[in-house]
């Protein structure tokens, strides 16, 4: 009996112990669960800490980011520096170009300086072409008048080779006025435009016969009324047959005075007026001969012989042609190049050879 009693309590105690153990286990388990739930809390804290740490480097890096624009600004400055330097480098070029473009405007040649330079050129040409003369063969005012009309759009040489037969057949205005047009045409055919020229010279011959008693008038106003006669022809006749000063503006004269900047005018009458204002009246006729001589021999239209030009230091257009002296010499024409001149009967002081007749030319 006593043994059974003692056994029950033991069993009870064991049960209690089991319960206690279970309770302890549950408590431990329960305690363990919160512990597990705390781990996420620690993870959150760790995440916050990591975020702070991440934020801190960001804060520390912030100055670096602020410094980055400084580098960009520095880079921009460096990038713009060459441009600024380039601008500084190009500035003198622009200024030079501007100076070149504006130099003539800033210091234009005064009228007095132009007169001095023009007259010096005339003196130099007078030394070179002391023998300058009209390059048409003639014996009297009538022959010079007809020869000058025929010289339009051809050379004086061709006219000089043609007129001997014409003047032999029709020596006076009356003879030419009564001629057969077809016969005159054949005689002057080598000069070109022979039909129009026949009409002009026969017309002026009739006018001389009918209005001026067979004589060539000595006034420009009368001469320009004749068929085929303009101011250029009138001044050639007046200056060389009557001794009346005049400026002859032909293609050579107009080209050279523009190259020399005596005038920019292209109209012959305006060129005549502008050049006449630079020289005394007594020089007009010989000035015309010298300028025309120079234009035919040295200062050619397409390729002037600048390297052989005696007035090169005075010429503002120097360099438009050949500047090499040896090459320039090969461009010289007529007596300057050792060739015959344009007249079959040149003046006694002419240094060149006479031109050959038409049959031999």
Q: Is 216 left (phi over 0), alpha (psi -120 to 50) or beta?
A: beta
Distance CA 149, CA 338 (A): 29
Q: Is 250 a catalytic residue?
A: yes
Q: Is 65 left (phi over 0), alpha (psi -120 to 50) or beta?
A: alpha
**How far from chain centre, in Å, is Cα 61?**
64
Which positions ≥6 away from 290 have C-beta within 8 Å?
Answer: 122, 125, 126, 128, 129, 132
Distance CA 28, CA 40 (A): 19
Nearest to 211 by CA among 199, 200, 223, 197: 223
CB atoms within 10 A of CB 11: 10
Question: How buried is residue 265: exposed, middle or buried, by Cβ count under 10 Å (0-12/13-18/19+)?
Answer: middle
- No. of helices (H) and no. of strands (E), the chain: 13, 0
Q: Which is the catalytic residue, given 250, 261, 327, 329? A: 250
* Beta pairing partners, 353: 340
Q: Which is the catalytic residue, given 137, 156, 197, 232? A: 232
The separation between the first and the last C-alpha atoms of the chain, rounded to the nearest angstrom, is 181
353 touches 341 (CB < 8 A): yes
- Residues forming the active site: 232, 250
């Amino acid at each position: 009996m006593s043994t059974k009693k003692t056994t029950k309590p033991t069993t009870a105690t064991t049960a209690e112990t089991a319960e206690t153990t279970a309770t302890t286990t549950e408590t431990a388990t329960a305690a363990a669960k919160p512990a597990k739930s705390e781990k996420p809390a620690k993870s959150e804290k760790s995440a916050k800490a990591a975020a702070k740490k991440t934020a801190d480097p960001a804060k520390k890096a912030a100055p670096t980011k602020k410094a980055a624009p400084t580098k960009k600004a520095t880079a921009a400055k460096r990038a713009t520096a060459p441009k600024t330097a380039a601008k500084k480098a190009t500035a003198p070029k622009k200024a030079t170009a501007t100076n070149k473009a504006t130099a003539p405007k800033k210091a234009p040649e005064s009228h007095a300086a132009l007169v001095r330079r023009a007259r010096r050129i005339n003196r130099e040409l007078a030394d070179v072409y002391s023998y300058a003369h009209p390059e048409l063969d003639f014996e009297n005012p009538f022959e010079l008048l007809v020869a000058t009309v025929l010289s339009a759009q051809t050379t004086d040489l061709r006219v000089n080779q043609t007129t001997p037969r014409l003047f032999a057949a029709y020596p006076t205005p009356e003879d030419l006025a009564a001629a057969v047009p077809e016969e005159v045409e054949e005689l002057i055919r080598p000069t070109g435009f022979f039909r129009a020229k026949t009409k002009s010279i026969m017309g002026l011959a009739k006018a001389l016969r009918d209005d001026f008693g067979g004589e060539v008038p000595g006034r420009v106003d009368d001469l320009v009324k004749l068929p085929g006669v303009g101011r250029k022809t009138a001044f050639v006749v007046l200056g060389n047959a009557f001794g009346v000063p005049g400026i002859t503006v032909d293609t050579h004269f107009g080209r050279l005075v523009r190259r020399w900047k005596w005038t920019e005018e292209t109209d012959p009458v305006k060129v005549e007026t502008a050049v006449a204002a630079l020289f005394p009246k007594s020089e007009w006729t010989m000035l015309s001969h010298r300028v025309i001589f120079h234009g035919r021999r040295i200062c050619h239209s397409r390729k002037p012989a600048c390297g052989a030009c005696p007035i090169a230091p005075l010429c503002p257009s120097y360099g438009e042609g050949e500047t090499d002296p040896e090459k320039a010499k090969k461009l010289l024409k007529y007596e300057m190049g050792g060739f015959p001149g344009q007249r079959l009967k040149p003046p006694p002081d002419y240094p060149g050879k006479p031109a050959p007749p038409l049959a031999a030319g």
